[in-house]
Amino acid sequence: MFRLCVCDDQPVALECVRVLAEQFDREHPELALRMQTFDSPYDLLDALETQGGFDMYLLDIIMPHMTGMELARLVRKRGESAAIVFLTSSREYALDAFSVGAAGYLLKPVEKDDFDSAVLSAIRAAAPAGSPSLLLKTRDGLRRILLRELMLVESQNHKRICTLADGTALETSDTLASLLGRLNGDARFFSPHRAYIVNLDYISSLSTAELLLSDGRRVPVSRKLSAALREAYTKYVF
Protein backbone atom coordinates (compact mmCIF):
# COMPACT_ATOMS: atom_id res chain seq x y z
CA MET A 1 0.00 0.00 0.00
CA PHE A 2 1.24 3.51 -0.89
CA ARG A 3 -0.11 6.19 1.46
CA LEU A 4 -0.65 9.65 -0.02
CA CYS A 5 -1.41 12.73 2.07
CA VAL A 6 -2.93 15.90 0.61
CA CYS A 7 -3.19 19.13 2.60
CA ASP A 8 -4.94 22.12 1.05
CA ASP A 9 -7.35 24.63 2.56
CA GLN A 10 -9.30 24.92 -0.71
CA PRO A 11 -12.14 22.36 -1.06
CA VAL A 12 -12.03 22.60 -4.87
CA ALA A 13 -8.33 21.74 -4.94
CA LEU A 14 -8.85 18.78 -2.59
CA GLU A 15 -11.68 17.47 -4.73
CA CYS A 16 -9.56 17.78 -7.87
CA VAL A 17 -6.74 15.72 -6.37
CA ARG A 18 -9.21 13.20 -4.94
CA VAL A 19 -10.63 12.56 -8.42
CA LEU A 20 -7.12 12.19 -9.86
CA ALA A 21 -6.16 9.76 -7.09
CA GLU A 22 -9.26 7.63 -7.73
CA GLN A 23 -8.46 7.50 -11.45
CA PHE A 24 -4.87 6.56 -10.67
CA ASP A 25 -5.98 3.78 -8.33
CA ARG A 26 -8.34 2.35 -10.98
CA GLU A 27 -5.57 2.37 -13.58
CA HIS A 28 -2.92 0.99 -11.21
CA PRO A 29 -4.75 -1.38 -8.84
CA GLU A 30 -1.54 -3.27 -8.11
CA LEU A 31 -0.06 -0.19 -6.40
CA ALA A 32 -2.91 0.12 -3.86
CA LEU A 33 -2.86 3.90 -3.55
CA ARG A 34 -4.61 5.16 -0.43
CA MET A 35 -5.18 8.87 0.05
CA GLN A 36 -6.05 10.93 3.12
CA THR A 37 -6.95 14.62 2.82
CA PHE A 38 -6.62 17.51 5.28
CA ASP A 39 -7.83 21.10 4.98
CA SER A 40 -5.64 22.27 7.85
CA PRO A 41 -1.90 21.80 8.52
CA TYR A 42 -2.67 21.39 12.21
CA ASP A 43 -5.05 18.50 11.54
CA LEU A 44 -2.33 16.84 9.49
CA LEU A 45 0.25 17.29 12.26
CA ASP A 46 -2.19 15.79 14.79
CA ALA A 47 -2.72 12.80 12.49
CA LEU A 48 1.03 12.26 12.18
CA GLU A 49 1.27 11.95 15.94
CA THR A 50 -1.52 9.40 16.21
CA GLN A 51 -1.18 7.31 13.07
CA GLY A 52 2.34 7.89 11.77
CA GLY A 53 3.68 9.32 8.54
CA PHE A 54 2.86 8.91 4.87
CA ASP A 55 4.78 7.80 1.81
CA MET A 56 4.09 11.04 -0.07
CA TYR A 57 2.85 14.54 0.78
CA LEU A 58 1.08 16.96 -1.54
CA LEU A 59 1.08 20.30 0.27
CA ASP A 60 -0.51 23.57 -0.74
CA ILE A 61 2.07 26.34 -0.37
CA ILE A 62 -0.27 29.21 0.55
CA MET A 63 -2.46 28.36 3.55
CA PRO A 64 -3.63 30.53 6.46
CA HIS A 65 -1.70 30.35 9.76
CA MET A 66 0.95 27.98 8.35
CA THR A 67 2.43 27.78 4.88
CA GLY A 68 3.07 24.51 3.10
CA MET A 69 6.81 25.28 3.31
CA GLU A 70 6.63 25.56 7.11
CA LEU A 71 4.57 22.39 7.27
CA ALA A 72 7.15 20.57 5.14
CA ARG A 73 9.93 21.59 7.50
CA LEU A 74 7.99 20.15 10.44
CA VAL A 75 7.50 16.90 8.51
CA ARG A 76 11.24 16.75 7.85
CA LYS A 77 11.98 17.41 11.53
CA ARG A 78 10.18 14.15 12.27
CA GLY A 79 12.93 12.42 10.31
CA GLU A 80 10.66 11.51 7.41
CA SER A 81 12.24 10.99 4.00
CA ALA A 82 8.89 10.75 2.18
CA ALA A 83 8.43 12.54 -1.11
CA ILE A 84 7.08 16.08 -0.70
CA VAL A 85 5.45 17.82 -3.68
CA PHE A 86 3.97 21.30 -3.42
CA LEU A 87 0.69 22.47 -4.91
CA THR A 88 0.87 26.03 -6.15
CA SER A 89 -0.76 28.51 -8.50
CA SER A 90 2.57 30.19 -9.33
CA ARG A 91 6.00 28.97 -10.44
CA GLU A 92 7.70 31.62 -8.27
CA TYR A 93 7.88 29.17 -5.36
CA ALA A 94 9.73 26.49 -7.33
CA LEU A 95 13.19 27.33 -5.92
CA ASP A 96 11.91 27.41 -2.34
CA ALA A 97 10.60 23.88 -2.78
CA PHE A 98 14.11 22.46 -2.96
CA SER A 99 15.13 23.98 0.39
CA VAL A 100 13.14 21.28 2.17
CA GLY A 101 14.21 18.46 -0.11
CA ALA A 102 10.97 18.54 -2.08
CA ALA A 103 10.59 16.40 -5.17
CA GLY A 104 9.05 19.36 -7.02
CA TYR A 105 5.75 21.11 -7.41
CA LEU A 106 2.48 20.81 -9.32
CA LEU A 107 0.69 23.80 -10.78
CA LYS A 108 -3.01 24.19 -10.03
CA PRO A 109 -5.32 23.06 -11.42
CA VAL A 110 -3.37 19.81 -11.35
CA GLU A 111 -3.34 17.90 -14.64
CA LYS A 112 -3.74 14.12 -14.71
CA ASP A 113 -0.43 13.42 -16.47
CA ASP A 114 1.47 15.60 -13.99
CA PHE A 115 -0.22 13.93 -11.02
CA ASP A 116 0.42 10.41 -12.34
CA SER A 117 4.05 11.21 -13.09
CA ALA A 118 4.65 12.65 -9.61
CA VAL A 119 3.06 9.69 -7.82
CA LEU A 120 4.84 7.07 -9.94
CA SER A 121 8.18 8.81 -9.37
CA ALA A 122 7.57 8.78 -5.61
CA ILE A 123 6.62 5.10 -5.67
CA ARG A 124 9.80 4.23 -7.56
CA ALA A 125 11.90 6.23 -5.12
CA ALA A 126 10.24 4.47 -2.18
CA ALA A 127 10.94 1.02 -3.58
CA PRO A 128 13.11 -0.97 -1.15
CA ALA A 129 16.72 -1.49 -2.12
CA GLY A 130 17.13 -4.84 -3.77
CA SER A 131 13.65 -4.84 -5.33
CA PRO A 132 13.56 -7.43 -8.14
CA SER A 133 14.57 -5.86 -11.42
CA LEU A 134 15.32 -6.69 -15.02
CA LEU A 135 18.16 -5.38 -17.17
CA LEU A 136 17.06 -4.66 -20.74
CA LYS A 137 19.10 -3.99 -23.86
CA THR A 138 17.58 -0.92 -25.52
CA ARG A 139 18.63 1.43 -28.31
CA ASP A 140 19.94 3.85 -25.70
CA GLY A 141 21.95 1.19 -23.87
CA LEU A 142 21.18 -0.92 -20.84
CA ARG A 143 18.06 0.00 -18.85
CA ARG A 144 17.15 -1.48 -15.46
CA ILE A 145 13.43 -1.66 -14.65
CA LEU A 146 11.61 -2.89 -11.54
CA LEU A 147 9.67 -6.09 -12.18
CA ARG A 148 6.59 -4.69 -10.46
CA GLU A 149 6.56 -1.90 -13.08
CA LEU A 150 6.65 -4.30 -16.03
CA MET A 151 3.09 -4.79 -17.24
CA LEU A 152 3.48 -6.46 -20.64
CA VAL A 153 6.05 -7.84 -23.07
CA GLU A 154 4.99 -8.37 -26.65
CA SER A 155 6.74 -9.54 -29.79
CA GLN A 156 5.46 -7.90 -32.96
CA ASN A 157 7.18 -7.58 -36.36
CA HIS A 158 10.46 -8.93 -34.98
CA LYS A 159 10.43 -6.32 -32.20
CA ARG A 160 10.03 -6.90 -28.48
CA ILE A 161 8.23 -4.10 -26.67
CA CYS A 162 8.15 -3.88 -22.88
CA THR A 163 5.30 -1.71 -21.58
CA LEU A 164 5.63 -0.28 -18.08
CA ALA A 165 2.90 0.72 -15.64
CA ASP A 166 3.25 4.41 -16.50
CA GLY A 167 2.74 3.71 -20.22
CA THR A 168 6.42 3.85 -21.18
CA ALA A 169 7.22 1.51 -24.07
CA LEU A 170 10.79 0.19 -24.29
CA GLU A 171 12.01 -1.66 -27.36
CA THR A 172 14.58 -4.31 -26.53
CA SER A 173 16.80 -6.57 -28.59
CA ASP A 174 16.35 -9.36 -26.03
CA THR A 175 14.34 -12.27 -27.41
CA LEU A 176 10.98 -13.18 -25.93
CA ALA A 177 12.35 -16.60 -24.99
CA SER A 178 15.28 -15.08 -23.08
CA LEU A 179 12.99 -12.64 -21.27
CA LEU A 180 10.58 -15.43 -20.34
CA GLY A 181 13.49 -17.48 -19.03
CA ARG A 182 14.66 -14.61 -16.83
CA LEU A 183 11.13 -14.01 -15.53
CA ASN A 184 10.33 -17.69 -15.08
CA GLY A 185 11.04 -17.71 -11.35
CA ASP A 186 8.57 -14.90 -10.61
CA ALA A 187 4.96 -16.02 -10.14
CA ARG A 188 3.67 -12.68 -11.41
CA PHE A 189 4.58 -13.43 -15.02
CA PHE A 190 2.85 -15.76 -17.45
CA SER A 191 2.95 -16.22 -21.22
CA PRO A 192 -0.68 -16.68 -22.37
CA HIS A 193 0.32 -16.63 -26.03
CA ARG A 194 3.56 -17.21 -27.92
CA ALA A 195 3.87 -13.47 -28.59
CA TYR A 196 3.14 -12.14 -25.09
CA ILE A 197 4.25 -12.17 -21.47
CA VAL A 198 1.92 -10.50 -18.95
CA ASN A 199 2.22 -9.43 -15.33
CA LEU A 200 -0.71 -11.00 -13.49
CA ASP A 201 -0.93 -7.95 -11.21
CA TYR A 202 -2.28 -5.92 -14.12
CA ILE A 203 -5.07 -8.26 -15.25
CA SER A 204 -8.52 -6.68 -14.88
CA SER A 205 -10.55 -9.54 -16.32
CA LEU A 206 -9.98 -12.92 -17.89
CA SER A 207 -11.82 -15.10 -20.40
CA THR A 208 -10.94 -18.23 -22.36
CA ALA A 209 -9.98 -16.22 -25.46
CA GLU A 210 -8.38 -13.06 -24.08
CA LEU A 211 -7.44 -11.07 -21.01
CA LEU A 212 -7.95 -7.39 -20.27
CA LEU A 213 -5.15 -5.38 -18.70
CA SER A 214 -5.66 -2.43 -16.36
CA ASP A 215 -4.77 0.05 -19.13
CA GLY A 216 -7.56 -1.31 -21.36
CA ARG A 217 -5.28 -3.34 -23.61
CA ARG A 218 -6.55 -6.77 -24.73
CA VAL A 219 -4.15 -9.70 -25.00
CA PRO A 220 -5.07 -12.95 -26.79
CA VAL A 221 -4.99 -16.20 -24.84
CA SER A 222 -4.00 -19.42 -26.56
CA ARG A 223 -6.66 -22.09 -26.31
CA LYS A 224 -4.03 -24.59 -25.11
CA LEU A 225 -2.89 -22.23 -22.34
CA SER A 226 -6.28 -20.96 -21.17
CA ALA A 227 -6.70 -23.46 -18.33
CA ALA A 228 -3.08 -23.06 -17.19
CA LEU A 229 -3.44 -19.27 -17.16
CA ARG A 230 -6.61 -19.41 -15.09
CA GLU A 231 -4.96 -21.79 -12.63
CA ALA A 232 -1.82 -19.62 -12.36
CA TYR A 233 -3.87 -16.46 -11.91
CA THR A 234 -6.12 -18.01 -9.26
CA LYS A 235 -3.16 -19.41 -7.35
CA TYR A 236 -1.30 -16.08 -7.51
CA VAL A 237 -4.23 -13.86 -6.51
CA PHE A 238 -5.79 -16.06 -3.86
Q: Which three-class secondary structure string do you get for the chain?
A: CEEEEEECCCHHHHHHHHHHHHHHHHHCHHHCEEEEEECCHHHHHHHHHHHCCCCEEEEECCCCCCCHHHHHHHHHHCCCCCEEEEEECCHHHHHHHHHHCCCEEEECCCCHHHHHHHHHHHHHHHCCCCCCEEEEEECCEEEEEEHHHEEEEEEECCEEEEEECCCCEEEECCCHHHHHHHHCCCCCEEEEECCEEEEHHHEEEECCCEEEECCCCEEECCHHHHHHHHHHHHHHHC
Q: 219 or 137: which carries more pLDDT confidence?
A: 219
Mean pLDDT for the stretch of residues 15-29: 91
Given the candidates 2.40.50.1020, 2.40.50.140, 2.40.50.100, 3.40.640.10, the CATH classification of the domain at 133-237 is 2.40.50.1020
Confidence of residue 78 (pLDDT cuts 50, 70, 90): confident
Pair 206, 234: CB distance under 8 Å? no
> pLDDT band at residue 145, thresholds of 50, 70 and 90?
confident
Comparing CA positions, the residue from 196, 170, 171, 173 lying closest to residue 183 is 196
Q: For the segment 91-133, what is each residue's pLDDT rounded down to a tens digit? A: 776 556 656 767 788 999 999 999 998 998 888 777 665 678 8
Per-residue pLDDT of 157-200, as tens digits, reads: 889 999 998 888 999 989 999 999 999 889 999 999 999 999 99
pLDDT at residue number 141: 76
Domain ranges of the chain: 2-126, 133-237
Claim: this prediction has a pTM higher than 0.75: no
Q: Give the largest CA-CA distance in the chain.
A: 65
Q: Do 133-237 and 2-126 fall under one CATH topology?
A: no
Res 225: pLDDT? 96
Which CATH code fits 2-126? 3.40.50.2300
Q: Is the dihedral of CA 24, 26, 30, 35 positive or negative?
A: positive
